[in-house]
A and B are shown apart, each in its own frame.
Chain A
Amino acid sequence: MNDRSNPALGVTEAALPGAMVKPSGSPADATYGRTGQLYARHALPVRIMHWINVVALTLMFMTGLQIFNSHPALYWGASSYTGRPPWLEIGARQDAQGKATGYTRVLGHEWTTTGVLGVSTDDGRLYAQGFPGWLTVPSHQWLSMARSWHFFFAWVFFVNGICYVLYTIASRHLARDLWPTRADLRGIGRSIVDHLRFRHPTGEAAKRYNVLQKFAYLMVIFVLLPLIILMGFGMSPRLDTLFGGWVGWFGGRQSVRSLHFIIGWLLVAFVLIHVFEVIVTGLWNNLRSMITGRYRVPAETSHE
C-alpha cells in the first residue's frame, strides 16, 4: 500500500477537487484522517455505476419474478417433463366451495402460502399468481412486457458491469481496496467476532473495507453476477448452440433456469445484509458517501 496517496477506496484527496480535507505535506500527519472529518471515500465513477446497478438489478429482479410467474415451477435437468416432479412449485387450488388456497412445494414438502405465494390479493381481488403483484413488474400478469423490461435492463446492467470491472482494474480500486491483504486474512476470525457483536471499525480502520466486506463484494462482483448473466444466456435457445450445448455442463436448460432463480435470491440476501450494515454503521453517513463521495470517519474508540 502506498501511504503517500492515502488511497482508501480508490480516491486520493488530490484527485478529488471538492475534497473537504486538505492533504497536508506529511503522509504521517495525524490530522489527515482525523476523526469527525469528511473524507473522500467513493470516486465519482463508482458512485454513478453503483446507482445504475441499484436500478437495473431491482428492475431485473422484479421483472424476473413476473417472468417466473408464467410458469411458477423449477426443475433439474434439460427438460421440465421427465416424469419427475419439479423441485419447487408455487401453485393455487380451489375447493368445491370455491375457496382458493395458495401452496408452495419444495422438494416434496408443501406449505400453505395463501396471501403471499400462489394466491394473493391486489386491489381487493384474489389472484392465482406465483409471486404477489407488489413484488413484480408489471404488477399484473404480463409476460411480454416483463421480458421487454428484463432484457433492456439486462443490457444496462451488463454494460455497466463491464465498465465497472474495467474501471476497478485500471484505477487500481480492485488491487488496493477490494483485494484482501495478508493482514486482512490473518484477521478473519477477529472480523467475524466483530461483526457478530456489531462492533464496527473506527478511525483509520473505518477508511478501509474490512475483510468480510471484501469477500462479500468480490463474491458478488466476480462470482454471483457473472454466473447469473451466464445462466441468463443459458436460457436462450440461440446462445445454447455454442459448443454443442454448453448448458449441459450446468445440468441442462431447466437446471440453468433454477440456478438463475437461486442466484437472484442470493443477490437479494446480499442486498439485505448490505443494507442492514449500511443502516447499523450510519445510514446517512454511508448514503452521503455513495452520493457525494464524502464520508465522516467515526470517532476512534478506546478499545483499539
Chain B
Amino acid sequence: MNDRKRAITPRVFAVLDSAKTAEPAHALPYGSRRRFLARMVASVGALTMAGCDRLSQSEWFPKILDSAEKLNQSLGKLVTGRKAMAQEFTAADLSPTFRSNGTAEPNNPEYAALAMNGFRDYALDVSGLVARPRRFTLEELRALPSRTQITRHDCVEGWSAIGKWQGTRLSALLDAVQPSAAARYVVFHCADPMEDDGQSPYYESIDMDDAHHEQTILAYALNDKPLPIANGAPIRLRVERQLGYKHAKYVMRLELVESFAHIGGGKGGYWEDQGYQWYAGI
C-alpha cells in the first residue's frame, strides 16, 4: 500500500525552530516520586501512540481492523432490512446552499466540451453484464420513471446537508438494459480526474440491493434546478443509505460487473482504493 496516498497530508503552516519548542528544564521542587510517575505515564503514553502509528502503517494490522466492515454491513442489513427507506424531509429543512465537496469543476477537456454545450451531446453509456447495452441521452434519462426526494447527505467527514433531488430511478434504467444473473455490482465511471495530471478518474460501485432500491436515482436536478457543475452535472448518483463518497458525481458510464477487482485499485471506488471502507452505511 502506498502510505503517501493513504494518509492525507495535513496543512502545515510553518516549520518552527525546534530549539524554541524544546521543553525548559524543570526547576520546580516536585517530589521525585511524583515526577517519576508523571514521566512514566507520559512515556507509556508516547510509546502507545507511537505503537498505534506503527500499527496503522503496517501491512497486516489494518486488515484485522477492517474485519469489522463486514460486521457493520451485516448489522445494517439485519437490523433495517434490504428495502428500508432513508428519512425524507420537507422543503423547510432544505440547506440554503447545498455544499460542494471534492471536485467542483472536473479538470477534463472532454467534460469541459460537453459542459460548454449545456450537455446536449452527453450520453450515459451502460455496458458490462447486460443483455442490451446502450447509451442514454439526458432526454432519454428524463423520459424514464423518476423520483423526487428531499434527503440528507452525510459526508464521511461528519457534516450533513439537506437537498431536494430529482432523477431517473436506477432500477428503471436497469430494467431497460436487463442485467444478467451474474451481475453483482453497478460501477459508476466519472469524468473527474482525482490527480493533477488528469489521471485516476473517480469511480464508485454499489451492490444490486442498493441499485434496485427505491431511493437510488441518477439525479439531474437539485432544488428544482438543473444539477449544477459543482454538485456533479449532468448526472450524479444518489444512494441515500450510504455516506457522501458513494454518491458519484459527473457519471459518464455505468458498468455491470461480477467483481470490481480489475477496476482501478480493485477496492470498488476511488476513496476505497485510498483505504476508506467499501460499505459506507456507517
Contact = CB atoms under 8 A, between A and B. Distances in A.
Nearest to B159: A80
Given A78-B162, A79-B160, A126-B13, A238 B49 contact: no
Interface string B70-98: 01100110011000111101000101111
Interface string A78-92: 111111000000001
Contact of B12 (A67, A126, A139, A244): A126
Contacts of A68: 158
Contacts of A237: 86, 152, 154, 240-243, 280-282
Given A78-B162, A236-B282, A241-B84, A119 B16 contact: no
A274 B53 CA distance: 28
A217 to B, nearest CB: 24
B162 A79 contact: yes
Instruction: Describe A's contact surface by its main secondary structure.
Output: mixed
B206 to A, nearest CB: 13
Interface string B134-167: 0000000000000000001011111111100000
A141 B87 CA distance: 31
Contacts of B155: 71
A111 interface: no
Contacts of B276: 143-144, 147
Interface stretch (A37-45, A149-157, A170-178, A187-195): A149-157
B181 interface: no
A147 to B, nearest CB: 7
B86 to A, nearest CB: 6
B80 A79 contact: no
B95 to A, nearest CB: 4
B65 A81 contact: no
A94 interface: yes
B52 A137 contact: yes
A70 B14 contact: no
B228 interface: no
Contacts of A59: 52
Nearest to A81: B95
A164 interface: no
Given A81-B95, A138-B52, A151 B282 contact: yes
Interface in A236-285: 236-242, 244-245, 247-248, 253-254, 257
Contact of B161 (A79, A98, A239, A245): A79
Interface residues of B, number: 66
Which one of B8, B13, B52, B76 has the highest number of Cβ atoms from chain A below 10 Å of its Cβ?
B13
Nearest to A55: B48
Interface stretch (A27-35, A127-135, A206-214): A127-135
B7 A241 contact: no
Determine the interface band of chain A, counting residues with CB < 8 A from chain B: 35 or more
A121 interface: yes
A148 B56 CA distance: 10
A41 to B, nearest CB: 23
Interface in B9-67: 9-18, 21, 45-46, 49, 52-53, 56, 62, 64-67
A100 interface: yes
A140 interface: yes
A144 to B, nearest CB: 4
Contacts of A70: 156-158
A253 B159 CA distance: 9
Given A128-B11, A143-B8, A241 B87 contact: yes
A152 B64 contact: yes
B6 interface: yes
A128 B10 CA distance: 7
B95 A127 contact: no
B128 interface: no
Interface string A59-80: 1001000011011010100111
B259 interface: no
Nearest to A247: B87
Contact of A134 (B11, B49, B79): B49
Of the candidates B46, B99, B160, B162, the one having the most CB atoms from chain A within 10 angstroms of its own CB is: B160
B8 A142 contact: yes
- Highest count of chain A CB atoms <10 Å: which of B18, B68, B95: B68
B79 A239 contact: yes
B86 A137 contact: no
A109 interface: no
B68 A81 contact: no
B16 A151 contact: no
Contacts of B8: 141-143
B12 A127 contact: yes
Given A67-B158, A141-B8, A244-B87, 10 more contacts: A82-B95, A98-B13, A125-B16, A137-B53, A144-B6, A151-B282, A236-B72, A236-B76, A242-B79, A257-B158
19 contacts: A78-B93, A79-B161, A81-B160, A81-B161, A82-B95, A92-B13, A100-B13, A124-B15, A134-B45, A137-B53, A139-B52, A141-B9, A145-B6, A148-B277, A152-B67, A237-B241, A237-B281, A238-B282, A240-B87
4 shortest interchain CB distances as A-B pairs? A245-B87, A238-B281, A241-B84, A238-B76
Interface of B: 6-18, 21, 45-46, 49, 52-53, 56, 62, 64-69, 71-72, 75-76, 79-80, 84-87, 89, 93, 95-99, 152, 154-162, 240-243, 271, 274-277, 280-282
